[in-house]
Amino acid sequence: MGKKRVAELEAQGVLNQPKTVPLSVLLDLFMAERDLWDNTGRTKRYVIKMLRDCDIAQVESNQLRTSDLIEHCKK
């Protein structure tokens, strides 16, 4: 199963994407993964969609700091 999944990811170009992306891209990937999204509860779906439209979604994944999360929660 693992080799098949790697082949799928390579075919989709996922493994060739930049190492760092904005959090919005990660959220989009999560939402696009049907098995994950379909098994996500209604409240979590709402929160993920809401986060997608927040300023924190523009933070690069490798640049996310605790202070970013704290600032987001204060808003």
pTM, whole model, 2 decimals?
A: 0.71
pLDDT in tens, 20-75: 899 999 999 999 999 999 999 999 999 999 999 999 999 999 999 999 999 999 98
Residue 46 CA to residue 37 CA, distance in Å, equals: 11
Q: Is residue 17's pLDDT more than 70?
A: no
Residue 66 CA to residue 68 CA, distance in Å, equals: 5
More confident residue, 7 or 14: 7
Question: What is the per-residue pLDDT for 20?
Answer: 87
More confident residue, 47 or 7: 47
